A and B are shown apart, each in its own frame.
Chain A
Amino acid sequence: AQTVTQSQPEMSVQEAETVTLSCTYDTSESDYYLFWYKQPPSRQMILVIRQEAYKQQNATENRFSVNFQKAAKSFSLKISDSQLGDAAMYFCAYRYGAAGTASKLTFGTGTRLQVTL
């Protein structure tokens, strides 16, 4: 079974600084997708960034980028120029690439990010 591990329950970063959230996963599959979701206090789950396993290039969305190391099964999220609005729970998630149960997202336990002035 696939598992996703986030070893940092809480992280803190100063406004305008950079922070990296860690995620590792375990799978025997070669075709899969990885995601970072943000959950602010409003509870809404918001997709931050996604990475297809077959792509070697790391995904980037504005201030958010990932470091995808397929061999090491590592998928970290870097947030640059942190803003107060980035404060939230961040969840790493895995999804298998084929049909059927592929649509299931497997989540890590989350990292709570605090942003300080």
Chain B
Amino acid sequence: DTAVSQTPKYLVTQMGNDKSIKCEQNLGHDTMYWYKQDSKKFLKIMFSYNNKELIINETVPNRFSPKSPDKAHLNLHINSLELGDSAVYFCASSLGVYNEQFFGPGTRLTVL
């Protein structure tokens, strides 16, 4: 009965590689988000989709590309990974833009 799930939970990779993180929610929500938590625990929004439309696109390198194939999924693809991309990435979802956001368990990405 997982609400918001992310795969993988841990990802270790080399600099320069391309990787994807998947997010799925089974709550019937129509809005999904990606947040990044850096090594100092600071959390910041990256992207948000509402009904598969991009509504928030913060200042994020264009190596990061979100994709929302349907309302229940929001994937994050990262090209040419850099050391500074190491962080925990959280997916979240909400019903509409006003309501509580439910977070996934996070994906810890380590770039070597």
Contact = CB atoms under 8 A, between A and B. Distances in A.
B109 to A, nearest CB: 13
Nearest to B100: A47
Contacts of B103: 44-46
Contacts, number: 57
Contact of A103 (B41, B56, B88): B56
B97 A100 contact: yes
B56 A104 contact: yes
Nearest to B58: A104
Interface of B: 31, 33, 35, 40-45, 48, 50, 55-56, 58, 88, 90, 92, 94, 97-98, 100-103, 105-106, 108
Nearest to A39: B41
A82 B11 CA distance: 35
Interface string A39-63: 1001111110010000000000000
